Structure 1
Amino acid sequence: MKIVKDFLLYLKHQKAYSINTVSSYEKDLIEYFNFLETNQFNYQSIDYNNLKKYLRFLNDKKLKNNTISRKISSLRSFYRYLVNNTKLESNPFLLLSLPKKEKKLPNFLYLNELEDLLEIPRTNKLLEQRNTLILELLYATGIRVSELTNIKLKDIDISNRTILVTGKGNKKRYVIFGKKSQEILEQYLKDSYLKLNKNNSEYLILNNRGSKITPRSICNILNEIISHTSLKKHISPHTLRHTFATHLLERGADLLTVQELLGHANLSTTSIYTHITSEHLRKTYLKAHPRAFKK
């Protein structure tokens, strides 16, 4: 449908949304229009009762509240676009209340668990050097896996230990890394990178064919590394981002600095980590203080 294609182009070019975000909107819209077709509803004349039926349809799929909220938000944006472009007079999705979001604390690693993960063999083998760098940068900088895969050599300032990364909405920010990360990066660039870079790539992290690595490949690499450790919990690249933020706050970093380093648009997104550190303090107190359980 042309109006949907126009909306997706608007998100991509005018709103500068990432490919993954635009793809998410597209899937939500396809699902919605399939629902309309099945029920013989018209998107231009949808009413509150129709919307309640759509909400029941989503609930019947056993989706989490956060997922349903995201889908409703996608459709609100679509109808807002229609109103702003004089295709409709009002946005029917404003009548629909979003489900209450579930507060789920992010998973993170304790320091001993992190050290277990990072203790992979330090050899001169091509892929092991690269994999060491992947883990090191994810934890040292707190960047998203998609941001890591998009780093180009020109984005890196080794002497100042900074990287210019492109985040959500194509927003750029600088992240910082330490001396240990610098050593691992320099070793990779003068050894494995030269051998892996068969296609004269401009990207930092390459696969074994010399092409830009994908986020899915990094997830597979992480799973393989975890299989050789004693770690039992589920760990994703985003776990290292959560760990980065949690460790900074535990050691006295202020929330605004962590927000800037993570590239969060809203402080409320970053504030979830204060709940983690508070819970960690509570558990530590209850476990360690001699009067914690005395009546």
Structure 2
Amino acid sequence: MFLERFIQYIKFEKRYSPHTVSAYESDLDQFMLFLNNPDKAGVAPGQVIIHPNQISYHDIRDWMVELMGQKLTARSVNRKMATLRKYFKFLLQEGLITENPSSKIRSQKIPKTLPVVVEDARLTQMLDDNKIFADDFTGQRDKLIIEMLFGTGIRLAELLGIKDQDINDYEGTLKVLGKRNKERIIPINTELRILLGKYLELKKNQNFHNNSATLIVTSKGADAYPKLIYLIVQKYLSNISTQNKRSPHVLRHTFATSLLNSGADLNSIKELLGHANLSATQIYTHNSVERLKSIYKQAHPKA
């Protein structure tokens, strides 16, 4: 009952993306399974925690300890804790609980890491190679996915939410609905416009039964889903990269880093990425500094 009310709230009132709603739901399901685990200390056989008022700060802290014991990253643990904070804050606002058990929970310290990128020259070379992508619908769809992620820097959830009508071929722009339902307009390059036109024509000629208005669809015409995009990106990035991380977000990082290395100002990159504040964008400056250090070491006689 309580979980359902919360999910309805973030889905319809807050209008979170389906991907975000699914993540919240998964986190809360995991937490409830942990609470009702008979092996957990303090849980009597047959006891079932139903009302959120039964949940204490110690329960949440114990779950955090277990997650850390499972070798989850600090970032993953913090995300799950953020879900609980959101959930209990909602219950408190609705008068469904009298005390917020998550209020004392502190986030784990996240070690600073540089964004993982792929070499943009090799990525461009792959996209320009006509032998890599088949000329049929599936091949051109896969190419479009890579081109859009690298050419616009959009997030996975944003890509999945794009409709055919969000493409303005005359203006050369793309309308995207980002986090917190913030809409932004992103320019698209000429090659991407041509590819979009070709893909839309191929999509139309497939005569799919459901005729989805969503831009990216499966080979059967259904709306694309996150796992499909991950598999496609991993498949093609494996041609040019041996690094373990080959996700859609790597292409977003590569987009931002390429712009910065080419002289784009940080505020413009912030707007293109849809960041709420500049601090989130500044992480890419570290990649540029590392690149300058590498160039210096290779080129300077005193390096």
Shorter-normalised TM-score: what interval? 0.7 to 0.9
- Correspondence for 2:271: 260
Query: What is the identity, as a one-letter code, of the residue corresponding to 1:176?
Result: P
- Correspondence for 2:13: 14
Shift of 1:144: 1.8
Shift of 1:89: 3.2
- Correspondence for 2:203: 193
Deviation track 1:137-191 (CA, whole Å, cap 9, x = no partner) reads 221111123322332221111011101112223322111111222222223334x
Q: What are the residue-to-residue correspondences of 1:56-95 with 2, within 5 Å?
A: 56-95=65-104
Deviation track 1:77-118 (CA, whole Å, cap 9, x = no partner) reads 112112212233332222122111232222112232212331
Partner of 2:53: helix, strand, or coil? coil
Please tell me whether residue 155 in structure 1 is matched to residue 177 in structure 2: no
- Correspondence for 1:104: 113
Cα distance change, pair 49–248 in 1 and its aligned pair in 2 (3 A): same
Q: Distance in 1 between matches of 2:34 and 2:225?
A: 33
Shift of 1:239: 1.4
Cα distance change, pair 225–37 in 1 and its aligned pair in 2 (3 A): closer
- Correspondence for 2:4: 5
Please tell me whether residue 288 in structure 1 is matched to residue 287 in structure 2: no
- Correspondence for 2:259: 248
- Correspondence for 1:55: 64
Q: Distance in 1 between matches of 2:148 and 2:252?
A: 10
Shift of 1:65: 0.9
TM-score norm. by structure 2 comes to 0.86
- Correspondence for 2:126: 117
Q: Distance in 2 between matches of 1:215 and 1:56?
A: 29
Shift of 1:197: 4.2
Shift of 1:33: 2.2
Partner of 2:95: helix, strand, or coil? coil
Query: What is the identity, as a one-letter code, of the residue corresponding to 1:140?
Result: G
Cα distance change, pair 5–277 in 1 and its aligned pair in 2 (3 A): same
**Is the 1:156–1:164 contact (alpha carbons within 8 Å) kept by the matching residues of 2?**
yes
Query: What is the identity, as a one-letter code, of the residue corresponding to 1:36?
Result: L
Deviation track 1:265-286 (CA, whole Å, cap 9, x = no partner) reads 2322222212221222222222
Partner of 1:95: helix, strand, or coil? coil
**Is the 1:121–1:128 contact (alpha carbons within 8 Å) kept by the matching residues of 2?**
no
Q: Distance in 2 between matches of 1:141 and 1:286?
A: 32
Partner of 1:202: helix, strand, or coil? coil
Shift of 1:127: 2.6
Q: Which deviates more, 247-256 or 122-131?
A: 122-131
Aligned residues: 289
CA RMSD in angstroms comes to: 2.3
Deviation track 1:224-252 (CA, whole Å, cap 9, x = no partner) reads 3345x343224222211111111111122
